[in-house]
Amino acid sequence: MSISSAAWWRTAVIYQIYVRSFADGNGDGVGDIAGIRSRLPYLAELGVDAIWITPWYASPMADGGYDVADFRAIAPEFGTLAEAEAMIAEAHEHGLRVILDIVPNHTSDEHAWFRDALASDPDSAERERYWFRPGRGPDGALPPNDWRSVFGGPAWTRLLDDEGVPEDWYLHLFAPEQPDLNWSNPEVHREFEDILRFWFDRGVDGFRIDVAHGLDKHAALPDIGLDEEELLAEPDIADHPHWDRDGVHEIYRDWRRVADSYADSPQGPRVFVAEAWVRTATNRLARYLRPDELHTAFNFDFLKCAWDAAQLRASVDHNLRTLGEVGAAPTWVLSNHDVIRHVTRYGRDTDDIQRPAGTVPTDLTLGTVRARAAALLMLALPGGAYVYQGDELGLAEVEDLPLDSLQDPIWERSGHRVRGRDGCRVPLPWTGDAPALGFGAAAPWLPQPTEWKQQTVEVQTDDPTSMLALYREALRVRRSLPDLAGDELRWQAHGEDVLAFDRGTEFRCVVNLGAEPVEVPADAEVLLASAPLADGVLRSDVAVWLRIRK
C-alpha cells in the first residue's frame, strides 16, 4: 500500500493509540512502541488511513504522559528514539500516516525548564517560562487568583524554598505536576517550533495539539469570579482569562508556516488537529481552522450528543455550516481516552450520558446496538473520523476497576469522589483467554474484565457479525465509494426520529433512532447494515448504507 496524496486529512479515518494500553511488546504490563509495531498489520487491515499516538515522550506519567519531561526523548518504558523512527517508517510502509500528540500548554514538573525555574530567583528569566506569582492575603497564603484546576482544587501550588519557607505560587490548569507555560515569552514559541521540526524531520505527518485553546492567558491573571461548580463546568463567558483567547491564533499561524515549509517534501504537507473544548453553538471552533491556521479540530459537540436524532442532526448541521464558512473539513469522533466509552454512554438514559463512570445504570446490549449504528452514521458523514482503540471491538467503559488500581490524577485531586478516566484506558484484548488477553506477557497495568475474552480481536476476526467485522466492512466500503469523497450532505425527510441523508449520486445513510420501524425503499441496494434487516425494515437503533437507484 502507498501513502496517498495531497489533502488526505480531509477524509481520513484516524485511529487513536493510547500507548500504555494498546499492546505491550516487552512484557512489563505497559503498552509500548514494540507493541505498536507488532500490530501495524492489524491496523492496515482494519482499513484506517492514519494513527494518532498519544504522548510517548519522556515523562514521570503523573497524567499518563501528558506531563512531558523531554519532548525530544521517548519514555524508556515505551522504547527508544530509534524504535520510534523505525515505527514511523514501518507505518508509512503499511500506508498509514502518523500523527503525534504535542502538549504545549504545560510541561512536567520534571522538565529541565521547570527544574531550572525552581533553582532560580523569583525575577529570573528561568521563571519567566512559567507563571510564578506571589500569593494574596496575609503572608501570601492564598492563591494569586481564583482559577481552578480541571482536575479539581486550585490551579496554583505554593513553592517552599530550601529551608521550607513558603515563597511564590505557580500556575497549573491541570495537575500540580503540569506547570503551565508562559506563551507571552518568545522563547516558548521558539522552543515549540523547534520541537515540531524535530519530529517533522523524522517523518511525522502531523500533530494533535493538546489543550489547544488554553495557551494564551490574560496578562493580568484576573479572577474569573464564579463559584467552584460553575468554574468547572466550562464557563460560557466572553473574554475568559485562560480559555479560547484570541491570542492563541497567532501561535497557530506560526505553526502553520512551519508545517507548510514541508509542503514540497516527498511526503507532502504536515497537518494539525486541535483539541479545543470551545463554546458550542458558536463559530469559535472554526476560528482555529481559518486557511492560515490549523487543518482540522475535534468535534466534541457531536461526541457530547445523546442518542437523539434532533441533537445529532443539529450538531452535524452546525459543524458543516460553521466549518464550511472557513473551508475546513469536519471531523467526527465518538470516544477518546478522556471520555466514557460510547457503548456505555448510549446504554444510559439520555440525561445521564455525561455522568461519571459507575454512578448510573447502563444497558450494554442497547449501548452496543446503538454503537454499531453510530459507527455507520459517523463513517458516512463528510470529512474525517476518529476511531479510539477498542471502539472497533465494541468495548464498554470498565466501571468497576478496583479502587487501588486507579491512576488518573482526577481520582486523587477530587478527594476520591470521581473515579476519572481509567475506565476507558483498560489495555486491549487481543487473543486467547490467558490473563493479559494477548496484550502482553505480564499482567496489564489496569486489570481487564474477564468477559473481554469474548471480545478479543481473535474471536471477532472469525465472527462476521462482530463489531470488528462491521468496522472493517464499513471502512472498506467507505474507501471504495466515490460518493463518500465529497463535502456535501443532503438531508432526506424521514420523520423526526430518523437521520437520513444522501451523498454523491447514489449513496444514502438511514439511521433509525425512534421506536417505529422505518421502511427501506424497495429498489435500494443494501450496502451495509448495523443489524440484520427484517422484511426490508429498519428496527429501532439500526443504521443502513444504501445505494439508491434514481
Give whole-number Cα distances, 164 to 125, 160, 161, 167, 473, in Å.
23, 5, 5, 9, 62
**Measured from the CB atom, is 88 or 211 closer to ligand GLC?**
211
User: Using the rule CB under 6 A, which residue among 24, 32, 49, 63 binds ligand GLC?
Assistant: 63
Q: How far apart are CA 510 and CA 501, in angstroms?
A: 7
**Measured from the CB atom, is 422 or 502 closer to ligand GLC?**
422
Site for ligand GLC contains 174 (CB under 6 A): yes
Q: Is the dihedral of CA 321, 323, 328, 331 positive or negative?
A: negative
In three-state secondary structure terms, 77 is: coil
**Measured from the CB atom, is 275 or 422 closer to ligand GLC?**
275
Number of residues that bind ligand GLC (CB under 6 A): 9
Instruction: Give which of 273, 339, 226, 340 is closest to 14, Cα–Cα.
Output: 273
Site for ligand GLC contains 180 (CB under 6 A): no
Local structure of residue 534 (DSSP, 8 states): B
**Measured from the CB atom, is 158 or 337 closer to ligand GLC?**
337
Are 173 and 66 a contacting pair, CB within 8 Å?
no
User: Using the rule CB under 6 A, which residue among 66, 113, 130, 452 binds ligand GLC?
Assistant: 66
Q: Which grid cell is 274? A: 486541535
Active site residue 191: no
Site for ligand GLC contains 211 (CB under 6 A): yes
Of 210, 301, 391, 392, the catalytic one is 210
**Measured from the CB atom, is 337 or 341 closer to ligand GLC?**
337
Q: Which residues partner with 157 through β-bridges?
A: 170
Q: How far apart are CA 455 and CA 371, in angstroms?
A: 15
- Would you say how long the chain is, in residues? 550
List the interface residues with ligand GLC, window 259-278 (CB under 6 A). 275
Q: For residue 106, how many C-alpha atoms fall within 13 Å in the half-sphere facing its CB? A: 25
Taking the CB of residue 238, how many other CB atoms lie within 10 A of it?
6
**Measured from the CB atom, is 107 or 530 closer to ligand GLC?**
107
Site for ligand GLC contains 338 (CB under 6 A): yes
Of 146, 275, 293, 502, the catalytic one is 275
Site for ligand GLC contains 329 (CB under 6 A): no
- Secondary structure (H, E, C), 163-222: CCCEEEEEECCCCCCCCEECCCCHHHHHHHHHHHHHHHCCCCCEEEECCCCCCCCCCCCC
Which residue's beta carbon is nearest to the bound ligand GLC?
A: 66
User: Using the rule CB under 6 A, which residue among 77, 210, 293, 541 binds ligand GLC?
Assistant: 210
Site for ligand GLC contains 103 (CB under 6 A): yes
Q: Helices 467-480 and 364-380: crossing angle, nearest 10°?
A: 10
**Measured from the CB atom, is 113 or 501 closer to ligand GLC?**
113
Q: CB 97 → ligand GLC: shortest distance, Å?
A: 20
Active site residue 128: no
Q: CB 460 → ligand GLC: shortest distance, Å?
A: 27
Site for ligand GLC contains 49 (CB under 6 A): no
Q: How far apart are CA 308 and CA 494, in angstroms?
A: 15
Site for ligand GLC contains 244 (CB under 6 A): no
Instruction: Give which of 338, 215, 218 is closest to 288, Cα–Cα.
Output: 215
Q: What is the DSSP string of 212-280?
A: TT-S---TT-------HHHHHS----TT-SSSS-TTHHHHHHHHHHHHHTTTTSTT---EEEE-----T
Q: How far apart are CA 521 and CA 541, in angstroms?
A: 18
Local structure of residue 450 (DSSP, 8 states): G
**Measured from the CB atom, is 114 or 174 closer to ligand GLC?**
174
Q: CB 265 → ligand GLC: shortest distance, Å?
A: 29
Q: CB 321 → ligand GLC: shortest distance, Å?
A: 26
The binding site for ligand GLC (CB under 6 A) comprises 63, 66, 103, 174, 210-211, 275, 337-338
| Catalytic residue annotation | 210, 275
